[in-house]
Amino acid sequence: MRADTAAIVLAAGKGTRFRSELAKVLHTAAGRTLVGHVLAALEPLGLGQVVVVVGHQADAVREELAASGLANVTTVDQTEQRGTGHAVQQAVPALADGIERVLVLPGDAPLLTTRWLEQLLDDGAAHGGAMFTSRLDDPTGYGRVLREDDGTVTGVVEQRDATEEQLAIEEINAGMYLFARSGLAAALERLDDDNSQGELYLTDVVALQAEAGTPLAATAAPGEVIAGVNDRAQLADAAAELRRRHLHHLMAEVGVTVEDPTTTYLDVDVEVARDAVLRPGTILAAGTRIGERTVVGPHSHLTACEVGADATVESTRADQAVIGDAATVGPFAHLRPGTHLGSRSKVGAYVETKNARLGDGTKAPHLAYLGDVTVGERANIACGVIVVNYDGQVKSHTTIGDGAFIGCDTMLVSPVTIGEGAYTAAGSTITDDVPDGALAIARARQTTKEGWVARRRGTGG
């Protein structure tokens, strides 16, 4: 726990280069908002307080923060965006008594990790504070770090304010800092807007700290940790890096086989258990959980699903579905919200389910629509069955008992109840309940007209 340390997260900017109606920090990468990623990296640090500076779409950002469920998070408003220094000025008065150290982070840096933040905290503790710097092949756009001959950090100069000579500096300012609260507060009072953008630059605090005899330490961090997201190309790059890390974790630490990481897309909150296999073209989103030894894909897209152990889910689209142990799903199944498949159940090709509960061992191997239905255990839903759940005005529910056999091409006009072990004949349109153990036939009888074809052509007897 670091109760004496707070974080200020800067999230008031518009993100002009996104060309979006939506505030930049609310765009998502690998299933989480940009600001959500920053908070997730902060969470394990156990900080005393997190203050998020909001401005553009402040209400929407506040809602997102509330939804993230993090404790200790409050917001302050920066109604006019007058620079990063100005943003921090809004937040400092909100710091609680007892806060002595302050992390300042941008809200658009989703690749930050807890481990690197711990490094910053450690380096900062030994100095007046610390800042992340990085050496980039292309430092364009970033502030450059100024140092004395002995290496002491003396300041940061923004790209737009830099001389030719300063532009040649490869070491950039990541815009992430740890300050002593007192030093930060003193320096913020001395900021001015005497620069090319007429803004209050937080970066000027770096020089003021050096002048006060408490220069910041520089913590060198890799570009793929400190990278900010300023446009949609960088958003895609960040998402790819987040997915790469997540898949690497699953392979290295959990023991999941990922046959082709380049075509496997997992949100960061997806959990996959040991010895599961993710086949190519698999997309797992929104907290989906996959059990041990289950094989998913090729080409399955699961959103907010819970899949048990030893199941197979091939070429399937599923949303908010629960799939039991050793169930077999697909290829070409569509499981819609409210689907609940029991263990050893089977849902095969061209079967669509919605608000459908199939008991253990129940099978619907091909071509069916199962909407608003509860099916018992070991039932058989043959090819072409439709639960007619909608009469154009209201949806109704159908119940099918254990061990029932619903013949091919049966229409079950809801609401209707099929008893345990009951049969329906192929091609039946069932409108009345069928008792346990009964056979229901509901179709016109066949008439066969011998010689009809020849008679019509006028050639025969």
**What residues make contact with ligand UD1 under the rule CB under 6 A?**
10-13, 53, 78, 81-84, 86-87, 106-108, 142-143, 156, 158, 172-175, 201-203, 228
CB of 63 to ligand UD1, least distance (A): 17
301 a catalytic residue: no
The structure tokens listed for 263 are 């075509």
Nearest Cα to 88, choosing from 113, 63, 105? 105
Residue with Cβ nearer ligand UD1 (11 or 51):
11
Q: Give the list of residues 6+ apart from residue 397 with CB closer than 8 angstroms, or none.
A: 372, 373, 374, 389, 414, 415
CB of 17 to ligand UD1, least distance (A): 9
The structure tokens listed for 341 are 């498949």
Q: Which does 302 bind (CB under 5 to 8 A by kind): Ca ion, ligand UD1, none?
A: none
SS3 content of the chain, % helix, strand, coil (to 5): 25, 35, 45
Residue with Cβ nearer Ca ion (11 or 418):
11
Cβ atoms of 247 and 265 within 8 Å: the answer is: no
Cβ atoms of 180 and 100 within 8 Å: the answer is: yes
CB of 141 to Ca ion, least distance (A): 8
Q: Which does 172 bind (CB under 5 to 8 A by kind): Ca ion, ligand UD1, none?
A: ligand UD1
* Beta-strand relationship, 28-29 and 32-33: antiparallel
Catalytic annotation, pick one of 86, 246, 334, 366? 366
Residue with Cβ nearer ligand UD1 (128 or 175):
175
CB of 113 to ligand UD1, least distance (A): 17
Task: Output b/e per residue, 365-379; b: 16+ Cβ within 10 A.
Answer: ebbbbbbbbbbbbbb
Query: Strand locations in 223-324, DSSP E?
Result: 257-258, 265-266, 271-272, 277-278, 283-285, 289-290, 295-296, 301-303, 306-307, 312-313, 316-319, 322-323
In whole angstroms, give the CA distance from residue 190 to residue 183. Answer: 11
Q: Which does 124 bind (CB under 5 to 8 A by kind): ligand UD1, Ca ion, none?
A: none
Q: Which does 87 bind (CB under 5 to 8 A by kind): ligand UD1, Ca ion, none?
A: ligand UD1
Residue with Cβ nearer ligand UD1 (53 or 387):
53
Nearest Cα to 373, choosing from 408, 401, 334, 410? 401
Q: Which does 203 bind (CB under 5 to 8 A by kind): ligand UD1, Ca ion, none?
A: ligand UD1
CB of 21 to ligand UD1, least distance (A): 16
Residue with Cβ nearer ligand UD1 (166 or 355):
166
Active site residues: 366
